[in-house]
């Protein structure tokens, strides 16, 4: 059983389109995250949710809107896609949002904007 | 500023030898955690090892050990008896209190090549 799953694995789309990435975890964790990994492999936090509530919102364009319908799911919707949005997006989860929590990552979604 | 520094963009090691991947961190918080993740060419992020700031002993997980030197703010990963499958990108990360809550900051990564 996959602990943290994401769909789709690959997403190729045109500039200006709107797309969503879905994430689900079956670990019973309270906290979920979205990360962006750029072409130089640099990994940066975008959002964090704890029990469906947004707790971290980095300086991300408001074209990116996360939604957490329940604590096992965290989706990412992106409006008006731009070339610079091309990256790998990782979902992750941790037991709580505390300082000692290990994060477990999904397989990633490679987004290519043409 | 809170940050993680990995100064080795790439490292080579002979199969069956040990290798140390360097990581230094910067934070003024007393409570923090340090992690190492492996990212093979297939792209997934695999958790390897964890060290809490209050832990007295260095963490070990199988062939992985974390050489935690708090005074020097370093958290180097040691891989013993390297295997070909260890060839991957390795990320050091630190979890610290930031605006809004605890967040994890990643280093730029070290690409490890294991030679047969």
Q: Do B95 and A100 touch (CB under 8 A)?
A: yes
Q: Check if A88 contacts B (Cβ < 8 Å).
A: yes
Q: For B34-66, how does the pLDDT look when each residue is reduced to its tens digit (9 = 90+)?
A: 999 999 999 999 999 999 999 999 999 999 999
Q: Do A43 and B91 touch (CB under 8 A)?
A: yes
Percent of chain A with pLDDT over 90: 85
Could you list the pLDDT tens digit for every one of the 116 residues in chain B?
Answer: 789 999 999 999 999 999 999 999 999 999 999 999 999 999 999 999 999 999 999 999 999 999 999 999 999 999 999 999 999 999 999 999 877 788 899 999 999 999 99
pLDDT for res B59: 96
Q: Which tokens hold the place of A72?
A: 């096992």
Q: Quick one: DSSP state of residue A27?
A: S
Name residue, tokens 């709580």.
A96
Between A and B, how many CB-CB pairs are < 8 A? 66
pLDDT for res A1: 64
Q: Do B31 and A92 touch (CB under 8 A)?
A: no
Task: Provide the terminal-to-terminal Cα distance of chain A, rounded to the nearest Å.
Answer: 34
Residues in chain A with CB shorter than 8 Å from the CB of B88 are: none
Q: Check if B11 contacts A (Cβ < 8 Å).
A: no
Report the SS3 class of residue B54.
coil
Q: Do B103 and A41 touch (CB under 8 A)?
A: no
pLDDT for res A41: 93
Q: Check if B54 contacts A (Cβ < 8 Å).
A: no
Nearest CA in chain A to B39: A41
Q: Kindly report the backbone phi and psi dihedral angles of residue B84, in degrees, each rounded to the nearest multiple of 5, phi listed first.
A: -55, -35
Which regions of chain A are under pLDDT 70? 1
pLDDT for res B98: 78
From B32, B46, B100, residue closest to A56, measured CB to CB: B100
Nearest to B54 by CA among B70, B67, B66: B70
Q: How far is CA A38 from the centre of its chain?
A: 13
Q: Do B104 and A103 touch (CB under 8 A)?
A: yes
Q: Check if A48 contacts B (Cβ < 8 Å).
A: yes
Q: Do B32 and A43 touch (CB under 8 A)?
A: no
Nearest to B74 by CA among B1, B8, B5, B2: B5
């Amino acid at each position: 059983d996959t602990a943290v799953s994401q769909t789709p694995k690959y997403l190729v789309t045109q500039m200006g389109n709107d797309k969503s990435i879905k994430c689900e975890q079956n670990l019973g964790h309270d906290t979920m995250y979205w990360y962006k990994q750029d072409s130089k492999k640099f990994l940066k936090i975008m959002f964090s949710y704890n029990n469906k509530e947004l707790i971290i919102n980095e300086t991300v364009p408001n074209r990116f809107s996360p939604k957490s319908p329940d604590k096992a799911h965290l989706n990412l919707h992106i409006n008006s896609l731009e070339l610079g949005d091309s990256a790998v997006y990782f979902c992750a989860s941790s037991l709580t949002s505390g300082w000692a929590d290990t994060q477990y990552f999904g397989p990633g979604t490679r987004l290519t904007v043409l | 500023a809170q940050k993680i520094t990995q100064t080795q963009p790439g490292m080579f090691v002979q199969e069956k030898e040990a290798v140390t991947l360097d990581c230094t961190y910067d934070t003024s918080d007393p409570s923090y955690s340090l992690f190492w993740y492996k990212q093979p060419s297939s792209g997934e992020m695999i958790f390897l090892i964890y060290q809490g700031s209050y832990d007295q002993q260095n963490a070990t997980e199988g062939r992985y050990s974390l050489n935690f030197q708090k005074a020097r703010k370093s958290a180097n990963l040691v891989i013993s008896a390297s295997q070909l499958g260890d060839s991957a990108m390795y990320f050091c990360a630190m979890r610290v209190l930031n605006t809004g809550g605890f967040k994890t900051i990643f280093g730029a990564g070290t690409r490890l090549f294991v030679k047969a």
